[in-house]
Structure 1
Amino acid sequence: MAVRKREESLACPRPDPFYGAKPRSRPVFAYRLLVSLASLPVLIRLGWHVLRGRESARAVTERLGGGDAVPGALWLHAASNGEVTSAKPLIDALLARDPELRLLATVNTQTARALARSWGDARIAVRMAPLDHRLVLRRFLARHDPRALVVIENELWPNRMELMTRAGRPILVLGARISERSAARWGRTGLGRKMIGQITALGAQDAGSQARFLGLGLPHERLLPLTNLKTAIVPPTGAPLDWPRSDTILAASTHEGEEGPILDAFATARAHRPGLRLILAPRHPRRAPEIVARIGKAGLRHTSRSAEEAADAEVYLADTMGEMGRWYASAGICFVGGSLVEKGGHTPFEPAHFDCAILHGPHVANFRDAYAALDAQHGAKLCRDSADLAGTFATLGAREQAAMAEAARVALGPPADIEGLATAVLDRLRAR
């Protein structure tokens, strides 16, 4: 109770649609208490990032609800690079349909902020997302007064959603996904049903996620058609590397703990297939120095994209952002990262679009249904460890690659109807 009274005493006393009576729900109070207790360590961490040059003071100001105001915009939140990229076709469609629309796009990471700003669209204001603390959110909402909140995929934050609901602003969740584990956790806490009840409309990414949202209490009438936003992504294609495509492997969006097994597998496979080349594209290019050390440890030579070096070694380190289309177009085989370690796996839709033969590890919870369909129809292959990868790298030739690419297109089906989704979103906003 003392925490709640203290927080209220700090709040602005003027009438405001984003203020409201305190809920008496124990799970909600427990969450707010935890957020309040975590606030000081979070602030210290943000200050440390500024001192170390890892984040700007302006970015921290935005995380605390500040920054230049963008009043009356549609608030669209996409957590990181993947979500920002998947939201781009929808954003383009929304802006094309409503010339008066302005977007306030919030993100969680610096790289996502840079990516969204690189679009150079004057109708899109990009900010770091506010922390899920009521004082921060009240400052953010009073400053921007957004007309609605569109959430991409699975960024559901209790305080954020409650304050928007209390203000009578719609909340739409698009490309929504939730795992069995997360659904069970939200169900046990008691917060899940409250949050789901605040959603105005939801388009799930897959049938499994849709069923789990319904199980948490989402009314059927609030459902939008199943929509996987990532199926509509078409990365821009640069000039492919001057390497034989069927002998080129792309390790896409790799994480710590994956490069070592991949490089060992590649070195082993080259003993049987000397013409093999590897494009290594880490999820976070800042990890390039440690990856270079791994390459050397594997006894391989490399060149780097960031140094604009010619691709004249066995390994090409693609340590830049925004060029994935070029790397997909260069490789006949694509190992999808985040799947040898427990990151949930990254999208199979982009490599499928470029007719790559798709390989993946065992951890693909983020796209469980898609990978299940791919594996069942031989449009992708599960490689559990370095030995599996080495054998596949050594034996997967051009004919087998083409067959897998064709099977992948059949398994994944047509891309999402982004035009129809944009129309549905705008219709929901006009109905309020």
Structure 2
Amino acid sequence: MLLYRLLISILAAVVLTRAALRADGRALRDRLGRNAPQSEGAHIWLHAASNGELASARPVIAALRAAYAQTPLLITCNSESGVALARSWGIDRVSAHLAPLDLSRVSRRMMKRWKVRAFIAMESELWPHRILSCQGPVIVLGARMSAGTAKSWVRLDRLARRVLGRVVYASAQDAGSRQRLVSLGLPEDRFGPDLNLKALYLPSPMHDPALAAAFDRAETWLAASTHEGEEDILAKAHQLALQKRPNLRLILAPRHPGRGDEVAAILTRAGLSFSRRSKGQSPEGVSVYLADTLGEMPLWYDLAGVCFIAGSLTDRGGHTPFEPAAHGQAILHGPDVANFADSYAALQAAGVTRLTPSADTIARALNDLADPAVQASLGAQARAVLAADVPAEQVLQEIIAALR
């Protein structure tokens, strides 16, 4: 525990210093757990890392509101964009804040201020002080534990067993995560069915009439959540595809919008005309629209008939196929899909996605998928494959039972 306290104290110093330099009083209050509750009474606290995890949690939130209509809900996220997303839903009796630092005193303060009656952690958000300071039930949903993370926890074996011993119900993302969590000390009899929370994703009701008028969905493809080393390949793919489809347009959405200038330089070198969302520039008359903003991915999914799922051309394991499938897009991806290996294997077995490991193969796939009916059909088939045998209703019922 001493080692963890040292490490989290260093992290806390960095986070607080950055907030202080920005003179961000609200962030400082959130991080220190000094944000007074917006409603009285005992709260259920749900914590998700950011937008993707929180979007997947919407059915969980709906189930909580239905089962505990009089119990207010506290949502915390590590990112400002996640907090903004939660607030944008406008759900009654829900408060959203930046996550507090996982310091012992801060965690105890949060539990006391919000009268926390239960704590729900999403995926890999296993913060020891939060879990240990909660007097009510602790639930982990879509629990994800990679082999690398498990090795780090082994170094804190006693702490891991204390923390995981407090969990009353867990639903693992996959069999590997379940096995690693059991080896670290989470009793096997506390697991419900395995469930990848991304399978619960519901499209957010986002719409921009001006953008919708500017893009022909059938003639637009999206490169979603790109990373360093991928944009050069995607820009080349777009150049090649333009030779046969001169009206084709690309929406390029970097995983980290702060890389906007870097990605813009790549597009300039490629000789592609582009405009930037972050600069308020019009998408009209350009070949590439650089979507270098946070929290707007549902917009981009809806505007494009084909989606290349990034993080898959490098060693980052690939991003979720559930979101583009939910928006009815035809799906392309690179070879590295380790983060969702079972889901991609099912999609490939059904023949409803394209493995495109290079600029040439991406361009050929884009040329093959020009027909909007084909795009829509592949999107619908992908959605059906990913929805098959998902024990969502059972897990939601078991969550409610565990909270009683």
Instruction: Please indicate the TM-score interval, normalised by the length of the shorter structure.
Output: 0.7 to 0.9
Q: Which residue number corresponds to residue 325 of structure 2?
A: 352
CA displacement at 1:331 relative to structure 2: 2.2
1:178 matched to 2:150? The reply is: no
Contact conserved, 2:19 with 2:28, CA < 8 A, in 1? Answer: no
1:12-411 correspondence runs (5 A) = 28-36=1-9, 38=10, 42-52=12-22, 56-69=24-37, 72-164=42-134, 167=135, 169-190=136-157, 191-235=159-203, 236=205, 238=207, 240=212, 243-305=215-277, 307=280, 309-398=282-371, 401=375, 404-405=378-379, 407-411=381-385
For residue 86 of structure 2, give the secondary structure of its aligned residue in structure 1.
helix
Q: d(CA) in 1 for partners of 2:14 and 2:152?
A: 29
Q: Secondary structure at the match of 1:328?
A: helix
TM-score normalized by structure 1? 0.81
Bigger radius of gyration among the two? 1
Aligned residues of 2:274 and 2:290 also touching (Cα < 8 A): yes
Change (3 A) 1:117 1:342: farther
**2:394, 2:304 → 1: CA distance?**
33
CA drift of 1:322 comes to 4.7
1:216 positional shift: 3.2
Conserved 8 A contact 2:222-2:300: yes
Per-residue deviation, 1:406: 5.2
| TM-aligned CA deviation for residue 301 of structure 1 | 1.2
Q: Is the 8 A contact 2:16 2:31 kept in 1?
A: no
Measure how far apart 1:349 and its partner are: 0.8
Superimposed CA distance per residue, residues 114-144 of structure 1 (whole angstroms, 9 cap, x where no aligned partner): 2212223341111221212212222222322
Q: Which residue pairs with 2:387 in the alignment?
A: 413
> 1:348-393: CA deviations, max 9, x gaps?
0121123322122333333222122222332223333434433433
Cα deviation for residue 224 of structure 1 reads 1.8
Contact 2:193 2:391 (C-alpha < 8 Å) held by counterparts: no
After superposition, the C-alpha distances for 1:309-343 in whole angstroms (9 at most, x for unaligned) are 24332112334455433432332321112323444
2-structure distance, mates of 1:111, 1:343: 22
Letter in 2 for 1:34: L
Distance 1:195 1:376, change over 3 A: farther
Residues 82 and 295, structure 2, Cα contact 8 Å, conserved in 1: no
Kindly state the Cα deviation for residue 266 of structure 1 after the two structures are TM-superposed: 0.9
Greater mean alpha carbon deviation, residues 187-196 or residues 119-128: 187-196
* Separation in 2, partners of 1:337, 1:305: 19
Paired with 1:216 and 1:74, the residues of 2 have a C-alpha distance of 26
User: Using a 3 Å threshold, how does the CA distance of structure 1 residues 406 and 425 change in structure 2: closer, same or farther?
Assistant: closer
Change (3 A) 1:391 1:50: farther
What secondary structure sits across from 1:200 in the alignment? Answer: strand
Shift of the alpha carbon at 1:278? 0.8
TM-superposed CA distance for 1:96, in Å, is 2.2
- Return the letter of the residue paired with 2:382: A
Give the conservation status (yes or no) of the 8 Å contact 2:19–2:25.
Answer: no
1-structure distance, mates of 2:94, 2:308: 34
Seen in structure 2, the aligned counterparts of structure 1 residues 303 and 30 have a Cα distance that, compared at 3 Å, is closer
Distance 2:3 2:66 in 1: 43
Q: Using the alignment, how far apart are the partners of 1:260 and 1:193 within structure 2?
A: 45
Amino acid at match of 2:245: R
Worse-superposed segment, 172-181 or 395-404: 395-404
Deviations 1:129-160, CA, capped at 9 Å, x for gaps:
12122122222223223101101111012222
**Contact residue 231 and residue 415 of structure 1 kept, 8 A:** no
Give CA deviations for 1:224-259 in whole Å, capped at 9, x if unaligned.
Answer: 222232222222363645555443211112234332
- Asked if 2 retains the 8 angstrom alpha-carbon contact of 1:86 and 1:229, the reply is yes
Contact 1:93 1:418 in 2 (8 A): no
Structure 1 residue identity aligned to 2:260: A
Count of residue pairs the alignment pairs up: 395
Q: Identify unmatched segments of 5+ residues in structure 2.
A: none
Q: Is the 8 A contact 2:56 2:202 kept in 1?
A: no
Aligned residue type for 2:402: R
